[in-house]
Amino acid sequence: MRELSIGDVAVETGISIDSLRYFEREELLVHEVARSAGGRRVYAENDVAWLKLCNRFRDSGMPIATIREFAALVRSGPGNEKERLSLLQKHEVLIRSRISALQDNLTVIHDKVSAYERHVREGTVAGVWEPQPSPE
């Protein structure tokens, strides 16, 4: 089993050393980080995999409190899979809602881009500042 320093983990995960320490203090990890004889943190490959998952959670807008709750469930072992699933399902619903809202925004922006392309191509300015009615 490969042992990794906090610097190695920072490079592999893209999480700063300070943030890794924060993750540990906030109990966002699924187990206690091992220490070398000299007291330095020693991470394992499964720590890196967990931290990469935490990155995905954070990048998707999952609150730290929810990550902490999920980590606590994982740490406590088997038997709470329904609770883990429920937590993940709730977050999935939020993400799908955000994606839908972003898709709506993209449609509006794309319509504006198309209007400007047409005006530039035709050399006209008439209506370029006029908002288009929303298709509802």
Using pLDDT thresholds of 50, 70 and 90, give the confidence band for residue 2: confident
Give the pLDDT mean for 54-68.
Answer: 96
pTM over 0.85: no
Tokens (6 digits) for 75: 């740490």
3-state secondary structure of 93: helix
Tokens 């500042």 belong to which residue? 129
Cα–Cα dist 86/134, whole Å = 36
Tokens (6 digits) for 47: 């720590």
> Which structural domains are found in the chain, ordered by start?
6-77 (1.10.1660.10)
Using pLDDT thresholds of 50, 70 and 90, give the confidence band for residue 130: low
Backbone angles phi and psi of 30, in degrees to 5: -85, -10
Tokens 């592999």 belong to which residue? 12
Give the pLDDT mean for 106-119.
Answer: 91
